[in-house]
Amino acid sequence: MQASKRVFRIVAWIANTIIGLVIVAYIAANVLIGWGVRSDSSRAVAKFSGDRIEALIATVNCQTCSLHDRNRSVWALGQLRDKRALPVLHKYYTGKRCDHKTQICQNELRKAIKWTEGNSFMLPQLWRPFL
């Protein structure tokens, strides 16, 4: 009887440790995503007028902006999931293979469209209230 209690306690400790680590990883990922969205959208608002979404859309449409900034704006729009972004996301999405030297990343566009249209499961965004 003692051995089974000891085994149960060890298994329970391992399970609790794993669950705790998963929760910490989820919170850390949310903090990093929120920080990235806030940083990218703040940079866009400083350059273009309007709210966060409008400024990010303007960055995606900006032909003189770097592809890095445009790709980051696509990512941020996908995270924000605002329907106003769908026309510009569809405008640049070709479905073809990515050419990162000359065009916006097709994979990022595909994911942003999927998230914005609500066609995929995403865990709750803990960072949203802090934008």
pLDDT tens per residue across span 55-104 = 999 999 999 999 999 999 999 999 999 999 999 999 999 989 998 889 99
Tokens of 44: 């866009």
Summarised one tens digit per residue, pLDDT across range 6-62 is 899 999 999 999 999 999 999 898 889 889 999 999 999 999 989 999 999 999 999
CB 88 within 8 A of CB 57: yes
Name the phi and psi angles at 118, rounded to 5: 80, 25
The set of residues, in sequence order, having a beta carbon less than 8 Å from that of 22 and lying 6+ positions away, is none
Closest CA to 127 of 57, 59, 26: 26
**Please, what's the largest Cα pairwise distance for the chain?**
73
